[in-house]
Structures are given as C-alpha cells and as structure tokens.
Homo-oligomer: A and B are copies of this chain.
Amino acid sequence: MSSLTARAEILLQTLIKRYIADGLPVGSRTLAKQAGLDLSPATVRNVMADLEELGLVRSPHTSAGRIPTQAGYRLFVDSLLKVDKEQFNAKTLHEIEEELSSVKDPKKLITTASGLLSHMTRLAAVVSVPRRNEKLQFRQIEFVGLSNNRVLVILVTRDGQVQNRVIYTDHKFSPSELVQAANYFNQAFGGFSLEEVRKQLLREMKQDSLAMRQMMRDAINMAKPVFDEESSSKEDLVVSGESNLMDIPDLGDLKTLRRLFDTFTAKRDLAHLLDESVRREGVKIFIGSESGYEALEECSVVTAPYKMNENIVGTLGVVGPTRMSYEQVIPIVDMTARLLSGALSLDDS
C-alpha cells in the first residue's frame, strides 16, 4: 500500500467527515472549499481520481460526487481520525457515572449501561452479559423440599448472587435430611471457587467410595446439577435502542432493516462478534462486511470490552450505519466500558 500524499489524506478526511455529516455524495467544488487547502475544484478532481483508483472512494454514478468505500472508512478510522477523549464534558460523564453507580444489581447494571449507550449514540446498543464467573467463591447451598419428590436447590456465592433450580429426586427426603445434607456440603466446600467445587464434585463421584455416607452422596447428587448448569449457560446479550435504527435513512430499506432486527433477536451472530472483541483491551471497530455477517453489511459495529476487578468479563458496543459519527461514538463506547467496569468492580468489597 503506497502511502497517500498529505494532501490526499486531508481531502479524504474532509470528504468522509462531510459525508458522515449529511450523507450526500461530495463533489469537487464543495470539497475544494471545505478542505481549506486553497485548491481549485479541478485539482481536487485529479486527486479524487487517484483515490478512486486506490479503492478508497467511489461515485454512485457519473455525475454525483464521491462517497467513501469500506476501505476508505477503514483508513479513516485507523489513521485519519483523532478521537478527542475529552470531547464530552465532564458533567455528562459525571451524570453517567452516577446513574451507573446508583444501580446495585449487576444484571440491572448491564441493562442500564445498554440503555445509556443507545440513548447517547442514538443507535442500537449491545452488551454481553458475562457468563457466571467461575472464579466466584461458593458460599452456601440450601435444599428445600417441595411436593412430589422435588427439591429446590439454592446456590449462593460470596458476593450475594443466587442461582436456583428444581431437581427431581428418586425418593422423598425429610426436612432434617435436607438440612444435614446442606450442612455437610457447606462445610465441605465453603470458600472454594465454583470451579473448584465442580472439579471436586466430579472426583468424589468417580471415587464413590464405600466409606462415603449415603447422606453425602445425596448432597452431592442434588447439588451437582446447579454447578453444571452454570458452566453450560451460554452467554446472553442485552440489546436496546434497536428502533433507533429505523430513523436512519441509510438503512431505509425495509428488507435490510428486517434482517438487522432478526439478527438482534437471534443474537447469535452478535454474540460471536462481541467475542472477537473480548481478547484485547480497547475499542474495536468492524466496518461493513468486516463483521462477516451479511445482515451487518450496511453497518458498522464499535465495541469495547469491560472488566470486573481487572478481569475482562464481557463486551459492549453499538451497531449503526457505516456512515456513523465515529468521532463521537468511539469515545462514548470507550467511556461507557470504563464506567461499567468501575461500577461492577466497586461493589465486590
């Protein structure tokens, strides 16, 4: 890739900014005035011809101006775009921070973050709900007998998260049996991480030594499903502000919109996309078909991972038209990820 002349870069940059601003193809005349380079339209035309040859811009038809191609956007966000981290004033930032920190429940926190994101960007927001962290410490288990040989198993972690599930047993347990089983279990595994507990359970079941009392065996059998479930629980997503996309003229096509909405509902593709972003810190951008999903062809996705106590646990992002204001969206996504990380980490004292 031969590097562009400084002039070409400036022109490309102004073209893209202009196009992002009003969505109309930009002509040489406009561009010449806008760029502040004191060039004639004719010269600009020559440069545009070069850019077109490089595949960075194209004209929708002969007598229209130029619009950026996907490659053009790519170059733009990679090297032409200077993101002003301070761009949204400290006041707004503070409001957001407050709004987030006022929410106690982690699940609600995710929803709130998603809502904020879509509200600020006026685009669709996606936040991945972190799968339950295996590092969490096991605190307590509780068995509650129900009718018909059913037992309600309640699992509590050290930070106060609760998971529960009804299981079926092969015979009826008396209340005191259940209490005993729970006591045994709590003593045996208290303070372990969920991961360790599950591993240990597997081991115990394999051995199944004769020395093991029936009661312990029951306790383990009853508890096992709850510990298994969480590991198989697939990551979920919270989506909000989808309908914002209906106001965007670029996606005016009902067909496109329909596929987009179906993607949001199915969530599968989006989940994959967010997963991509989970590995590395910082904002990541998928432009058009870079996402690899047909439904997102006309869209860009801006994502950033968020952390909980220094571990990346999930990703958030927004989906909008390729012609979105990256300048504004990027810092918003970035900050929201940071603030969410902060809010999530605070509580776990």
Chain A residues at the B interface, C-beta cutoff of 8 Å: 104, 139-140, 142, 144, 146-148, 150, 152, 154, 156, 158-160, 162, 164, 166, 240, 242-243, 246-247, 252, 254, 257-258, 261-262, 265, 349
Contact = CB atoms under 8 A, between A and B. Distances in A.
A102 to B, nearest CB: 14
Contact of A265 (B156, B243, B247, B349): B243
B152 A144 contact: no
Given A247-B258, A258-B246, A146 B164 contact: no
Count of this chain's copies in the oligomeric assembly: 2
Given A144-B156, A243-B265, A246-B257, 14 more contacts: A144-B160, A146-B158, A147-B158, A152-B160, A152-B162, A154-B162, A240-B265, A243-B258, A243-B262, A246-B254, A246-B258, A246-B261, A252-B254, A254-B254
Contacts of A257: 246
Contacts of A150: 160
Contacts of A261: 242-243, 246
Contacts of A164: 162
A140 B242 CA distance: 41
A107 to B, nearest CB: 12
A104 B152 CA distance: 13
Contacts of A139: 144
A187 to B, nearest CB: 12
Contacts of A160: 144, 146, 150, 152, 166
- Residue of A160, A164, A261 with highest tally of chain B CB at under 10 A: A160
28 contacts: A104-B166, A139-B144, A140-B144, A142-B154, A144-B156, A144-B160, A146-B158, A146-B159, A146-B160, A147-B158, A147-B349, A148-B349, A150-B160, A152-B156, A154-B154, A154-B156, A154-B162, A160-B166, A162-B164, A240-B265, A242-B261, A243-B258, A243-B261, A243-B262, A243-B265, A246-B261, A247-B258, A254-B254
